[in-house]
Structure 1
Amino acid sequence: MDSNNPQNNAPAVAGAITFPSRSQDVHPAPVQPRQPRNLQGLLRFAMEATKAEDAPGDSTLGPMDEERRKFLEEALKSLTVDIAEVLHTSITTLTDAEKMKSIQLGQPLPEDVQSAFNNLLEYIDDIDVANDFYKMGGFAIFPIAYGSENDEIRALASTVLAEVCQNNPCCQARALECGILNVLLNLVQSERGQALTKCLYAISCASREYSPACRELTAQGGCDTLAELVATPEPAARTKVAFLIRYLCHHYREAKEQFIKLNLVKIIAEQIKKGRDATTEHLLSTLLALVDGPDPVVLAQCRDPSVGLRNILEDLLKHPDLIGERFREERDYCQELLKQVFTDCAQVEPMDDVVADR
């Protein structure tokens, strides 16, 4: 019987990893080399870890000579990045006001300026590095960059700001205190192309999950600006707008009330009516955020015959793309809107009466 097998009575070895073989025998796993603590230990670790792959020969390790030590030190230095130095160098380059001002509209960025932005974006997605960026005076790059006539510089600055602020209340607070959010809210009204998309990205990251910034955005007329940008001809920017509006509607009643007063329903309906594209799904989701409640004014806006939202949704459901499973979520949004807004709504209350009652 198995209980009489002497192998089963063998004492266990502490720390050993065992595994069954095809014959059910149990063998200890190979002992791993000790983790290195210095340069010589690193060399020993590497040689012991690969010893089984080496050709037969003497693998005895002796003392490390000075030449080998210097070689390994240089090799390790070449693989080590001084992030603080990278931040300092990049900030110094991007706060050179004279250099930055000299870069004209449409002109390619000088290599050192492009490298400075690239190096920042390589590391600042780490929250600790982002905070160090601020402490080292990094926010000084923004007024200089946003004052540039070169749209690529402004777009890159917005990308940097978005990365340092995303899910980072410390940098969000600094951006608000420094007035950068207000600069963005003014700048977004005139930006176009990639600069517009990145500016909206920065506004979103500087505001979301940070109540003081969301309140400031609402107080400074940001809802009006966002509502106007729903009709922008640039799909990437329209997606960013829809995403931020949806977030505000779900989390900040004051912002949602502003969008209702602006009759955002009509603006979205007109945009969808122009033709289905990659942003339609996000616009439908935004409509659902508006009708969530439900608010009688919003329902009246949706049911307004002059808007024709019901026909727009029904026509969209007939679109060939929505027949398959690929755009199932978009189809579900349409059906949910029809259900929430138009079920049992034979009697349409005049918009003026609803607003007056409110």
Structure 2
Amino acid sequence: MYDQFYGFSGRPFQLTPDPAFYFESGTHRKAMSYLGYGLAQGEGFIVITGDVGAGKTTLVGHLMNTIDANRLTAVKLVSTQVEGDDLLRLVAEQFGLEWEGQSKAELIRAMEQYLREQARAGRRTLLIVDEGQNLAISALEELRMLSNFQLGGHSLLQIFLLGQPEFRQTLFHSPTLEQLRQRVIATHHLDPMEPEEVEPYILHRLGKVGWTGNPSFSPEAFELIFDYSGGVPRKLNVLVSRLLLFGAVEELHRISGHHVRSVIAEIEADRGIDEATLAPAPVEEVVELAAAMAPVAVPTAPTEWPPATPDAAPFAAPAPADPPAVDPEQLAALHEQIARLEARISEQDDALRRVLDLLIEWVERDPENAPNPARSQVWAA
């Protein structure tokens, strides 16, 4: 929707990584330097880590776009929580090799043959493994084994490992990975962007879709965007995307600090609803509350006065009644009723989200359907 309102050729702040929007911040420039150094060496492991949303995938996509396919065959593998043998099958599949029904020894021979053929054709081979924090120790050991392949004293395979910060802990502190550590020739951690990089980053991505100054941003807006996002690209993209949608709905041509605060408040309110209001109470709490609210049986008065108990004082207060025993069948029925209520709440929540998605899609297809403040006032009147 906002891309139509502002005349953009696309959406510059989508969450899907797009190398076309690559921005070379200081930390990304260093990472590219290490990757370039690694490519020049043609061997060993290069390790790049960063927090979620730091731009690792975009960085790799940009690198892939700069590679000459005639000289370097690069394949990318997004790893999952697999052991060594399964990783070999995944790598073989990326190389275009048949792996079904193959033993481990046959797979290794087929991959070595493939790498030798690439080398004889004058091409080096690069394997990029993303989400390295998901790899088991055995999988990392298999990668080290693949890096042993050589032809004429030259390595046949170079490996880039990308992962979240915990991957560094696994790689550099696991006693069983000492041999792999000795093959790491460079490593870099992607830090968040600096405050002064936020404005160039936003304007760079806007410029990729034909931005000509509409909307403009106040200096305070850039400051607040950095404060909220912490300089993490993905968090920044989420916020600026919401800002542009807000600006289109409100027909704004300049985004100020006040507007940024309003959108941040909306995001935080959405999170509060998702995490608190929409979350059903635990069954145990509901059962406790129901038990506390259950009617208490009140003892009836004796049929004769004074009570027919010789030792009892004529005016003594009756002893408090024991709490009623819990009927297991009633408790099971209460659990079942609570489960049905929770299921209905979940169904209503899903239905509400589907309606909101359809509404947003409808508005985005036809910008004339977008709410207009003046029109809303007339309707309200």
TM-score norm. by structure 2 comes to 0.19
Structure number with higher relative contact order (C-alpha < 8 Å, ≥ 6 residues apart): 2
TM-score of the aligned structures, taking structure 1 as reference length: 0.19
Question: Which structure has greater strand proportion?
Answer: 2
